[in-house]
């Protein structure tokens, strides 16, 4: 399978003592739109590597069908190129699904794993999600996502291609087998919000399957605790409440 070369960028001081933290954004997103509020807070204490997945931001769409597995291999190729690993990994939503596959397919590259609002099964989603996705059109994409993509891609058609890739990716999504989930040995923080689009019981089930996992349910909605552009709307209160718990987990202090 042809690899897609992912846009990547470093933030913070690469000489800090902590392992690098890899950020993998969610659907419809770019590095700035998903992580723009979090990055300035993280880079005070650790080096951060952020990537943009197939067809997002400054990464080309290519002619490959989208899949979480192939995207994970794209990310692994970046780590191999940079001679990195094991690293800490934080993936949000679709990016959490990619982060999970990275840990499953390339376990030597992942030290600690944070699955943020990430569905590993189709029945994880709230009622109406799949019907809405099936009927969805590009015109339904919130303007903040299209604008954020245009700001970095400089391509008026790029956001439409991104939307179609993300839609196809999720419509083709099949459950990650329980056996695969149980095979991921990296210490994992499973995070969800109490008003998430992913059901709380799914987070509980995933935590139970993983050999070394902790569950954290935070107040809020899908991504506001990460400062995601649409969910947070510029309000950083949920992010600042979550950040100490994230850092405690990465440092091995969250029990």
Tally of domains in the chain: 1
The answer as to whether 194 is a domain residue is yes
| Cα dist from 42 to 31, 69, 144, 211, whole Å | 14, 27, 23, 27
Mean pLDDT on 177-202: 98
Distance CA 33, CA 229 (A): 5
Distance CA 154, CA 163 (A): 16
The per-residue pLDDT for 1 is 67
Tokens 């397919």 sit on residue: 105
pLDDT band at 14 (very low <50, low <70, confident <90, very high): confident
The answer as to whether 2 is a domain residue is no
Q: What CATH number is associated with residue 223?
A: 3.40.50.1820
Residues 61-98 have pLDDT tens digits of: 999 999 999 999 999 999 999 999 899 999 999 999 99
Mean pLDDT on 182-191: 98
Distance CA 37, CA 244 (A): 15
Burial 60-86 (b: 16+ CB within 10 A, else e): bbbebebbbebbbbbbbebbeeeeebb
CA atoms within 13 A on the CB side of 170: 26
The answer as to whether 200 is a domain residue is yes
- Cis preceding-peptide flag for 54 (omega within 30 of 0): no
The answer as to whether 73 is a domain residue is yes
Distance CA 67, CA 132 (A): 20
Structural domain span for residue 35: 7-250
Distance CA 39, CA 43 (A): 6
The model carries a pTM of: 0.97
The per-residue pLDDT for 15 is 77
- Yes or no: say if 162 and 56 are a contact pair by the CB < 8 Å rule: yes
Q: What is the CA radius of gyration of the chain?
A: 17
SS3 87: strand
The answer as to whether 64 is a domain residue is yes
Q: How far apart are the first and last CA of the chain?
A: 40
Residues 203-242 have pLDDT tens digits of: 999 999 999 999 999 999 999 999 999 999 999 999 999 9
Two tokens at 190? 């499973």
CB atoms within 10 A of CB 38: 25
Residues 155-182 have pLDDT tens digits of: 989 999 999 999 999 999 999 999 999 9
């Amino acid at each position: 399978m042809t690899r897609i070369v992912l846009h990547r960028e470093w933030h913070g001081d690469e000489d800090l003592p902590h392992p690098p933290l890899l950020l993998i954004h969610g659907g419809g997103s770019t590095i700035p739109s998903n992580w723009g509020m979090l990055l300035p807070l993280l880079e005070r204490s650790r080096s951060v590597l952020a990537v943009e997945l197939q067809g997002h931001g400054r990464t080309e769409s290519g002619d490959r069908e989208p899949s979480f597995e192939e995207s994970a291999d794209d990310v692994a190729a970046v780590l191999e190129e940079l001679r990195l690993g094991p690293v800490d990994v934080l993936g949000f939503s679709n990016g959490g699904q990619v982060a999970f596959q990275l840990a499953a397919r390339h376990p030597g590259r992942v030290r600690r794993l944070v699955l943020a609002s990430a569905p590993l099964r189709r029945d994880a989603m709230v009622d109406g999600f799949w019907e809405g996705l099936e009927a969805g059109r590009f015109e339904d994409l919130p303007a903040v996502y299209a604008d954020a993509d245009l700001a970095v891609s400089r391509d008026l058609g790029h956001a439409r291609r991104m939307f179609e890739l993300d839609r196809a990716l999720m419509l083709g999504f099949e459950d990650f087998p329980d056996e695969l989930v149980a095979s991921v040995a990296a210490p994992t923080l499973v995070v969800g919000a109490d008003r998430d689009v992913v059901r709380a019981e799914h987070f509980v089930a995933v935590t139970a399957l993983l050999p070394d996992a902790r569950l954290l349910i935070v107040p809020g909605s899908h991504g506001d605790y990460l400062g995601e552009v649409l969910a947070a709307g510029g309000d950083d209160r949920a992010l600042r409440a979550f950040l100490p718990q994230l850092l405690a987990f990465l440092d091995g202090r969250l029990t």
